[in-house]
Structure 1
Amino acid sequence: MKGKAQRSRVKLGVPLLIIVCSLFFFAGLFLSPLLFHFQDFGEVGRRRLLQESASKEFGKSGEPFLHSIPFQILSWRPRIVYFPNFTTDDVCEKIIEMAKPKLEASKLALREGESAENTKGTRTSSGAFISASEDKSGILGLLEKKIAKVTMIPRSHGEAFNILRYEVRQKYDSHYDAFDPAEYGNVQSQRIASFLLYLSNVEAGGETMYPFEVKYGIHQHLVDNFHGMKDVEEVN
């Protein structure tokens, strides 16, 4: 019986030794950082550590300051993203003044068999194309940079700004911003995205509607208060 009792104690002793060693190991692992953290460096030492931490650079954003642009996804099919307050009222007013002397009747790309006469009611606005390089104030250049950031499309892929004015009862019928070569022939460039920046606010009208949204049960209007590619519209 004594031999059996001794063997039993030996069997119990090995697992117990492993458990005790494990407890000491984990205690040292977790307690040593805490002890180091609360070590007294003195007031000067603590201040130096805070200063060093504050001066570290954790990567650069590519801009002189952090700049977030809020957005809301209105639809995935078609993909429509809304950027509220994309720019300021002052910038909008300056763009309007810049475009006013250059406005003329908006033109329309014609399909085979179409003419200016049988399509004259399709688009009744007036407009002007202005490139950022023409704008000495730099406003359009800054807008291009911001548009490139939110769309993730390089500035070099963009067109000149198409600044449009719609007066009462003027409109542009439903259309595509890209050209089907089978209908229009070969074109020099194709739009992969359009960015609409509304330059004025009105009590009623002035919205842009995407008719195919209705099919997907979304039916979302982009209203004229959309301060927020190149189709830049002034709604009057």
Structure 2
Amino acid sequence: MKNKGSKSGGGNWLSLGLPSIFLLCLFFFLAGFFGSSLFSQQEVSSTLRPQPRGLEVENNQEFDLLPHGKTGEASLTRIPFQILSWSPRALYFPNFATAEQCQGIIKIAKKDLKPSSLALRPGETADNTKGIRTSSGTFISSSEDKTGLLDRIEAKIAKATMIPRNHGEAFNVLRYEIGQRYQSHYDAFNPAEYGPQKSQRVASFLLYLSDVEEGGETMFPFENGLNMDGNYDFSKCIGLRVKPRRGDGLLFYSLFPNGTIDPLSLHGSCPVIKGEKWVATKWIRNQVQDEED
């Protein structure tokens, strides 16, 4: 009985014919080949895909650390960033601060908010510049914050920019409500327009303290030399746009390394369409700032 069944099975295979058997074998071969290829591609892509990097201090045992100077540090830190643009130089820092830190800064600033003002050129007044900047805000120095929260954020900004923290102005915490905006402008002060400057703003670090449902982007209309034909409407929200997300940071440089103003660093804040925008701005200068600056 056993031998008879074996012969019967072989007969069934032979009854398919050589072409059918060939096609069946080819099918299994191709299925195995493409299956293994797909698996190997997934393995390669998983190794090449950028992985989120933590903000924690690295395990020092994994690295051969160098001796550090008196003002150096004995550990390695990683602060992830993405280059958004080389023209102007703009970098994005995801998860730079925690949700709790952002809420803490808002709580500190909320009680002292006033309508935001502008640095005026000769001949300008608050009346003829009305509508350019419509947010409310307040200045807070880290030395005034007894919780130490702003001190920690300021120290981290110094690490990210590699510019000593005593070059920074006080934090300017701003709130933008629906419809509020800041038209395109420069953070650096052109001496030809504003007169001689004791020091100049090298860079700006924006820490977004809240999500914005719609609108409120930080935009760079001249990114990569666009819209510079002399017909640009400063009230428009065009160009490279960075969406505010709570805890994220945006760093951009107003000066070239040679100290001249980068004309592509023109930027603004698009109107908030839905929700509310909170941001803490740290302006960083090319010289040490006195307490009264």
1:168 CA displacement: 0.4
Residue of structure 1 equivalent to 2:131: 121
The match for 1:24 is: none
Paired with 1:149 and 1:167, the residues of 2 have a C-alpha distance of 31
1:222 Cα deviation after fit = 1.2
- Contact preservation (8 Å) 1:200, 1:224: yes
SS in 2 for 1:186: coil
Bigger shift: residues 66-75 or 85-94: 66-75
Q: How does 1:82-231 map to 2 (within 5 A)?
A: 82-213=92-223, 215=225, 219-225=239-245, 227-228=248-249
Aligned AA for 2:129? Answer: T
- Deviation of 1:187 after TM superposition, in Å, equals 3.2
Q: CA deviation at 1:216?
A: 5.2
Which of residues 46, 50, 66 in structure 2 aligns to 1:59? Answer: 66
Q: Which residue of 2 aligns with 1:6?
A: none
What secondary structure sits across from 1:193 in the alignment?
Answer: strand
C-alpha displacement of 1:65: 4.4
**Is residue 125–residue 170 contact of structure 1 (8 Å, CA) maintained in 2?**
yes
> Cα gap change, 1:172/1:209 in structure 2, threshold over 3 Å: closer, same or farther?
same
TM-superposed deviation, 1:119: 0.5
Distance in 1 between residues matched to 2:67 and 2:242, nearest whole Å: 34
Instruction: For residue 102 of structure 1, give the secondary structure of its aligned residue in structure 2.
Output: coil
User: Residue by residue, what CA displacement relative to the aligned partner does 1:32-53 show, whole Å, maximum 9, x if unpaired?
Assistant: xxxxxxxxxxxxxxxxxxxxxx
Find the aligned partners of 1:126 and 1:189 in 2 and give their Cα distance: 26
For the residues of structure 2 that align with 1:58 and 1:189, how far apart are their CA atoms? 36
| Matching of residue 235 in structure 1 with residue 277 in structure 2 | yes
Contact 1:161 1:229 in 2 (8 A): no
Q: Which amino acid aligns with 1:149?
A: K
* 1:9 matched residue in structure 2: none
Aligned residue pairs: how many?
Answer: 182
Q: Cα deviation per residue 1:167-189 (whole Å; 9 max; x = unaligned)?
A: 00001110000111111112333
Inter-partner Cα distance in structure 2 for 1:207 and 1:183: 27
Deviations 1:117-175 (A, max 9, x none): 11011111001000110011111111111111111111111100000010000011100
Relative to total residues, which structure has the larger helix share, 1 or 2?
Answer: 1
Alpha-carbon separation, structure 2, partners of 1:204 and 1:214: 25
Structure label with greater radius of gyration: 1
> Where do 1:34-53 residues align within 5 Å?
none
Q: Distance in 1 between matches of 2:173 and 2:141?
A: 10
Deviation at 1:74, TM superposition (A): 0.7
d(CA) in 2 for partners of 1:194 and 1:57?
Answer: 34
Query: Aligned partner of 2:241: which letter?
Result: H
Structure 1 CA distance, aligned partners of 2:98 and 2:188? Answer: 29
Shift in alpha-carbon separation, 1:192–1:229, aligned structure 2, 3 A: farther
User: 1:203 deviation in Å?
Assistant: 1.3
Query: Mind listing any 5+ residue stretches in structure 1 that lack a counterpart?
Result: 1-53
Q: What TM-score does the superposition give when structure 2 sets the normalisation length?
A: 0.57
Residue 66 of structure 1 and its aligned partner are, at CA, apart by: 3.1
Residue 215 (structure 1) shift: 3.1
Q: How far has the Cα of 1:220 moved from its partner?
A: 2.7
CA–CA separation in structure 2 for the residues paired with 1:229 and 1:209 = 11
| Preserved CA contact (<8 Å) 2:88 2:224 | no
Question: Retained in 1: the 8 A contact 2:90–2:251?
Answer: no
TM-score calculated relative to the size of structure 1: 0.70
- RMSD between aligned residues: 2.8
| Structure 2 gap ranges (5+) | 1-60, 228-237, 253-268, 270-275, 279-293
* CA 1:230–1:186: 2 relative to 1, 3 Å: farther
Give the match's secondary structure for 1:174. strand
